[in-house]
Amino acid sequence: MFDWLQRNQWVYILVFGAAIILLWRSLKSGDEVSSNSDVISDECWYYDVETGDSFRAKRELVAPIKSPKGNEAVWASMYGCGGCGPSQRFAGFYVKHTDDMKKRADADPAVRARLFGERAEGRLYSTDGKSWIAAASPGEAGVLDSFRTRCGELDLKRCP
């Protein structure tokens, strides 16, 4: 048997590698939030801080923006319990940018383009749309994870 393994080492390596990959994927899948759509829309969700209404507007806008009612509105990261219907959907957290960063982004398309990546400069997070925490601050992780247990037994879905 050892003679066969020595002659066919590549088979052993492939089987062992596949087992490791499957184990890693099964462990990692518990941390993921499933998406309700593979299509990226040109619009995303915003939240009117005064009225509590959610609405859709162009994704490229730099929050805060003006809502249809003229109030300040911030970007809303929407999730759903089991689906993304109106009764299932909720805002996991809110995002806006500092006044200085918004002015710079509105004036320079290159700065605006960098805001939509992982870059944290000038980004603020909130769980209620009123109290804000700077990105890369000690409280950021709490804001970004605060909603993950809200659905109980139902699947948490990212709503486009």
**Residue 1 shares a structural domain with residue 46:** no
Q: Is this structure's pTM higher than 0.85?
A: no
* Dihedrals phi, psi of 140, to nearest 5 degrees: -60, -45
Give dist(CA 148, CA 21) in Å, integer: 26
Which pLDDT does position 30 carry in this prediction? 40
- 13 and 40 in a single domain? The answer is no
Q: Do residues 9 and 79 share a domain? A: no
Maximum C-alpha span of the chain: 78
What are 47-79's pLDDT values in tens digits? 999 999 999 999 888 899 999 999 999 999 999
Which residue segment(s) compose the domain that 13 sits in? 1-32
Structure confidence at residue 26 (pLDDT): 45
Based on the domain organization, do 20 and 78 belong to the same domain?
A: no
Which range (1-5, 35-39, 94-98) has the least confidence? 35-39
Residues 85 and 7 in one domain: no
Domain count along the chain: 2
Q: How far is CA 148 from CA 79, 81, 155, in A?
A: 9, 10, 10
User: For 96-134, what is each residue's pLDDT tens digit?
Assistant: 999 998 998 889 888 877 776 665 778 999 999 999 988
- Residues sharing a CB contact under 8 Å with residue 160, sequence separation 6 or more, in sequence order: 35, 36, 37, 39, 40, 41, 44, 84
Indicate whether 63 and 104 sit together in one domain.
Answer: yes
